[in-house]
Chain A
Amino acid sequence: MYGYHGKILFIDLTSRRTWAEEKPESWYQTYIGGVSMATRLLWENIEPGCDPLSPKNPICIANGIFAGTPVPVGAKYGLASKSPLTGFVGDSLSGSWFSVALRRTGWDGIVLHGASEAWVNVLVDDGRVQFRQADKYLGLGTFATEEAIREDLLDDQVRSATIGPAGEHGVRFANVTNDGRQAGRTGHGAVWGAKKLKALSVRGTHGVRVADPDTLMKLSFDIIESAQGPHTAKYRLLGTATNVLNMNTLGLLPTRNYQEGVFEEAELVSGEYLEEHHKVKKIACAQCPIACEQVSAAKQGLYVDAMTGIEYECLFANGPNCGISDMNAVIKMIDICDRGGMDAMSNGVTVSWAMECFERGVLTKEDFRCAKYPEGFAPTFGNAEAGVTLSEMIRDREGIGALLSMGTKLASEQIDRERGTESRNWAMHIKGLENPGYDARGLKTFALGLAVGTRGGCHNRTAAYDPDIKGEVDRFSIDASRGVLAKRTEEYAAVYDTLPLCKFIRRCFSGKADRAGAWPAIQALINATTGWAFTYEDIDLIGERAHTIKKAFNIREGWTRDADRLNYRWHHEPMTRGPSAGHVVTEEELETLKDLYYQAKGWTADGLIPKSKLLELGMDDVAEAIGV
């Protein structure tokens, strides 16, 4: 088999036993790699219904088929566990040097069972597995932990995926981080922390053999050249932060906990402002010719020690969405998240929920007592120091930070139970995952994509905002086309997440990002790597299968149609200003959209998957387990 090593490593953290499992080629052809293979490993290795923070929730890692080859943006791996935020599938991607080093170890994936008694750093060193004591790394930030492990082993070929203090403390939206990149969103850091796994390190000497290296080299070279041109200019020049002004113009920039879609000080937190005043260096993941990571530093004031990569999603969440326009403070908040090892989007949206709670009197100054401010403080929207302090309190689970560290869903439910309030109405999450930086009241296809998302409120798993923003459909109303659009865009994203390839390369194959523009090149890359004879239709199937295994996992964990819902605010409270003012997604609209979507997917009216559909996809054992 080309493009794979053909074996998966299993590690039991409780007994410290390790074993290997070989999978047939048909298994690899069905699940490929990345989030799809990681979720399949999760499907095979979890006890349904288990507590996500118990030893029964395994950590499942699946590398990409292009990791360690010159295929641009192909150094990525998938990570799956049951999410402690949503109770459904927690599937994440991270990339860069770790993925390449993992490839060299000779394993296609790693599954970690159980939980360690003492804090541990697992080192996979080619075929050997070492359990290293990790007590001395406790409290270290993510990047610092990686560096410390390299220094201890005197080898900078060792790459590590780590958790920071947030994961150690059990913040439910803690991340796993490697090489400055995050496997984010769904709380992997909390799962690792519960297992006392501080870091997973990899070091290897094996090369990658592909079926047709000459073709692969030529394809890669052309894509790399194309990636220096206009198709990636957005990412190379200003990075995703350029979206701040774009979204503001459309009235979709979440402001003050999604109360509005226009931020009056957007210029001060824009990609343009960041470039001029804070930019330090543009960095790439391994294997990437684009270099989108805009490393930026605070330049004055209280937070001059802060420096990290700034993306739009982190920027909107901790900036406009908290009413904060001081870029130095926003960089500091994101720095706290990145070094502390927690999700900067969930952090910003949780802080903004707390700020609204304060402004509405649900939480009071006394609720915000901490070591730094023993009398408490007043976290009004726009209070930059409050944003920074709350981020630190969440990371350390200090004072009210312990409540906020559970995310907006669990935090609002607890406060409402204790105080008889209705703070859940402004808890901006879907299925427990905090929402992204596009207000769905003005993007109705995207509203559907988010509501039915297997991961919760995530912009990365559905590109359904695309037809809305490009004007291919009317973004303020619904029609019969939206079900198919939501299906296509989520399965399109799933193809990239499975190989995985970074989506920022999507226009570089032919100038067009649609299936007709991208699939022929992706097909050629897969076939040159593996020697398989995948057709155009097979590429579609990669996406459909990847999405289906995630949905199947959720069904087995108790998903029902009712779980595909939006947050209260998007249903009932229109924005008052800007081009998207006056709109909501009504409950009737959403139910109609869901009908259209389930139909487009070939599912039942209840959103369940027919046995026949699963058999058609070659997922026989899944059909047996959850098919109807």
Chain B
Amino acid sequence: MVTSTSRYKYITCDPEKCIGCQLCEYICSYTKTGEYNSYRSRIRTVRVDEILITAVACRTCENAPCVMVCTRDALSQDQESGIIRLDKDRCDGCAWCIEACDFGAISINPMTKLAEICDQCEDEEAGPQCVLWCPKDALELTTPDQRAQRARRKLATEEALR
């Protein structure tokens, strides 16, 4: 399985907590387009085998493959935040970035034919709206290392109590 090795923050979903309600999709599409249309969401819920449910958004890979394959240099990565940015004038909707993404986190807007990628709601004061709205706190904006630290703390607590 391919995983992001990112030092950057990105939005992850805890499948144990996710109930498949899709509210993240409505909120995302509303925030980004002004209308409710989960088809236009930059985070996508997935349900397979009836009980396996999660949500996926851009994982801000280091040396992001989508940026590397873009034939028109339309994609670039912010060195501070890892967020992938799109130059609308350069993008021609060729979809190479979609092919390159191991997480299925990029889509092409059917109307504008431009690539759309999660930008962690960097323009929103309250941060990522999907994280804010998730009723089960299944979504969070953290780095892999932050999650590893938490896992170690949880393990330490459990083993100490044993």
Query: Which chain A residues have a beta carbon within 8 Å of chain B's beta carbons?
Result: 68-70, 72, 97, 100, 104, 143, 156-157, 180, 204-210, 213, 217, 221, 224-225, 227-228, 280-289, 291, 295, 307
Contact = CB atoms under 8 A, between A and B. Distances in A.
Interface string B97-126: 000000000000010000000000000000
Q: Which of B29, B30, B50, B133 has the most CB of A within 10 A?
A: B50
A289 B21 contact: yes
Contact of A289 (B33, B34, B135): B135
B42 interface: no
Q: How large is the interface on B (under 10, 10 to 19, 20 to 34, 35 or more residues)?
A: 20 to 34
B26 interface: yes
Nearest to B22: A286
B6 interface: no
A283 B26 contact: no
A132 to B, nearest CB: 21
A331 to B, nearest CB: 14
Contacts of A280: 51
B29 A69 contact: no
A291 B20 CA distance: 9
B147 interface: no
A283 B20 contact: yes
A209 B33 CA distance: 11
A104 B51 contact: no
A204 B39 contact: yes
Nearest 8 pairs of A and B residues by beta carbon: A207-B37, A289-B135, A207-B35, A291-B19, A284-B19, A284-B21, A208-B36, A70-B26
B39 A104 contact: yes
13 contacts: A70-B30, A72-B23, A213-B34, A221-B133, A227-B135, A280-B51, A281-B53, A283-B20, A283-B53, A286-B21, A288-B21, A289-B135, A289-B136
B156 interface: no
Contacts of A205: 37, 39, 110
A282 B40 CA distance: 27
Given A68-B38, A208-B35, A224 B135 contact: yes
Contacts of B29: 207
Nearest to A143: B50
B111 to A, nearest CB: 8
A206 B135 CA distance: 25
Given A284-B20, A287-B22, A289-B23, A70 B133 contact: yes
A396 B89 CA distance: 60
Nearest to B21: A284
B155 interface: no
Given A228-B135, A286-B21, A286-B22, A69 B36 contact: yes
B46 interface: yes
Interface in B13-31: 19-23, 26-27, 29-30
A283 B133 contact: no
Contact of B21 (A217, A281, A285): A285
Interface of B: 19-23, 26-27, 29-30, 33-40, 46-47, 50-51, 53, 110, 133, 135-136
Contacts of A68: 26, 36-38
Given A70-B36, A286-B21, A287-B21, A180 B30 contact: no
Given A213-B30, A285-B21, A289-B21, A100 B136 contact: no
Given A68-B37, A104-B37, A157-B39, A97 B51 contact: no
Nearest to A208: B36
A385 B59 CA distance: 50
Given A70-B26, A205-B110, A286 B37 contact: no
Contacts of A208: 35-37
B23 A287 contact: yes
B26 A295 contact: no
A221 B51 CA distance: 26
Nearest to A309: B50
Contacts of B50: 143, 180, 295, 307
A209 B21 contact: no
A287 B30 contact: no
B14 to A, nearest CB: 13
Contacts of A70: 23, 26-27, 30, 36, 133
A281 B27 CA distance: 25
A96 to B, nearest CB: 9
A310 to B, nearest CB: 13
A224 B47 CA distance: 22
A286 B39 contact: no
Contacts of A288: 19, 21
A213 B37 CA distance: 13
Contacts of A295: 50-51
A286 B36 contact: no
A140 B46 CA distance: 22
Contact of A224 (B19, B23, B30): B23
A307 to B, nearest CB: 8
A213 B27 CA distance: 11
Contacts of B135: 224-225, 227-228, 289
